[in-house]
Amino acid sequence: MAARVIGGRYELLHEIGRGGMGTVYAGRDARSGRACAIKVIREEAALSSDARDRFEREARAPGRIGHPGLVEVYDAFAEEDGRMVLVMELLEGVSLREVLGSDAGFDAKLAVLYGALDPLAAAHAAGFVHRDMKPDNVFVADLPGGERRVKILDFGIARDLGSGALTETGVIVGSVRYISPEQAHSARKVEPPADVFSIGVMLYEAATGALPFGSESALKTLTNLAAGNYVPLDERVSGLPRALVDLVHECLAFDPSARPAHAGVLRDRLAPLAPPTLDALGDRATRDDAEPGWASEVRPVVQTPPVPTPMEGARSGRRAKGTSFVQMIKTVKVALRGGLQLPITDADRAWLDQRVIVSDWYPFERFEWLIALVHAHLMGGTDGAGVKMGRMAAEHLLQGVHSGFVKPGNVQRSLQSLPNAWTRYFDFATVTVTSTGAEQVTVRVTDYEHMSRVHELMLLGWALELVSLAGGEVTEHEVVESPTRGDADLVVWLSFSE
């Protein structure tokens, strides 16, 4: 089948990832033959002035900064239907997030962070504050000839110090676990020391495996941040040079003026303490047989985690109840028997063939992989398809094994059952339901890191179907906050009639 062409020249080969703003594809420039990553902003997002501003910043910042440690933007344009398109270099490699989660030593992690400081220093010198420095936005790129380079991703929420535009008051911009105290208070006037603070958080995490202010909830994290409450680095781990410990503590200073003034200062002070190259990472960051990927905050649509065979219940980490898997596994098996070609390995097939004990717990990563597979390859991959998946799941489970959560004729009471229903399927995060009127509720899911877009849509669909099963009708609804848009929580507002 011929590849879809956009902008008259760019071929969309296959989807790499999807986020709250849009979809990213591996592609090819038909004129030059060059491989590229193509980000297509969703039509509804394109209508937002904030989305347009983010798009323009992401398109212009790398060119204005002019450093090879930023993702190169080849082209940016709007389609006739208003959708915005960004064409960038296609990267191979690993994010710092993956390095931190691997068995790489501290020297390797330190080398990656040191490598990020030169492009960040260039950004600061050019008048930009990134405002979202986190492990997902630091990428070790494998270049031709075996060379490596650390690149900084996603300048979509960067602050241009030369611009008069200001962020809306009261809006937290950036990842809660990595932002500075002043950015948590207001992102309107943050300066380069805010990015230095974020680097300090990552240095602390690289050394200890823990976040200095991170807690079981975003609110508690912000409370710790506001109080400057963290365990000193040298009380968490021993054997680090005193100069490095002191430098990390300076980066984490509550007062911005007490930190290194910008990334260039931090780079120069860290240089004697960090490995000079990325050799500490060992072999190439990506497998030779891996497909090229585009690294950002969006998650791959289908990402296969390690496969336990035979299937074993999870004893730690984020977990999902076996009840959540059964119907989706059946659906995938029916599709395979019908001859549908799905991107799964023999190990995946072996996993699908294992017996699922509905009362047991399994790795949540497996649940995410399964819903992404169904969404992308069986349901069409659209937002509407994700909502429909949630409706179907609720219809199946709330008319069967968990029918007790539906209170016929009483929508409000049925919606109040959502916190208890959540605990039947997942053993992390917290759900609260607040009545905002006789026929209105706000549903909030807190402390849910790395929420996939598909799961967000399914949770919305679940709530919508629950109203229907209780005999009501949703008259309005709005996703007020969304992790895939950069918020800490998922917040959905519903208005209904009975």
Give the pLDDT of residue 52.
Answer: 67
d(Cα 496, Cα 498) in Å, to the nearest integer?
Answer: 7
Closest CA to 482 of 466, 493, 496, 495: 493
Domain with 178 in it: what CATH number?
Answer: 1.10.510.10
What is this structure's pTM? Answer: 0.53
- 354 and 289 share a domain? no
- Give ∠ CA 132-137-142 in degrees, rounded to 5: 160
- 104 and 238 share a domain? yes
**Token output for 174:** 């950036």
- 125 and 227 share a domain? yes
Count Cβ atoms below 10 Å from residue 231 Cβ, excluding itself: 11
- 70 and 109 share a domain? no
* pLDDT one digit per residue (tens) for the chain, 498 residues: 456 888 888 888 888 876 656 788 888 888 888 898 888 876 655 555 666 667 777 777 777 787 888 888 888 888 777 778 888 888 888 889 999 988 888 999 999 999 999 999 998 988 888 888 999 889 998 887 778 899 998 776 655 554 444 344 334 455 788 988 888 877 667 889 999 999 999 999 999 999 998 876 777 787 778 777 788 888 888 888 988 998 999 898 887 888 899 999 999 999 998 877 777 676 544 333 333 332 223 223 333 344 333 344 555 678 898 889 988 898 888 878 777 778 888 888 888 888 787 878 888 888 999 999 888 887 877 788 888 889 999 998 888 778 888 999 999 999 999 999 999 899 888 999 998 888 999 999 998 767 788 999 999 999 999 999 999 999 999 999 888 888 888 999 999 998
Residue 106 phi, psi (nearest 5)? -60, -35
d(Cα 495, Cα 411) in Å, to the nearest integer?
Answer: 11
**Token output for 278:** 């990325």
The structural domain count of the chain equals: 4
Please tell me what DSSP assigns to residue 286: S
Give the pLDDT of residue 271.
Answer: 92
132 flagged as catalytic:
yes
Assess if residue 166 is contained within a domain: yes
Closest CA to 330 of 312, 308, 352: 352
**Token output for 334:** 């029916």
Query: Which residue range is the domain that position 484 belongs to?
Result: 402-498
Q: Which residue is listed with tokens 């492990």?
A: 135
Assess if residue 497 is contained within a domain: yes
Name the catalytic one among 132, 142, 195, 489: 132
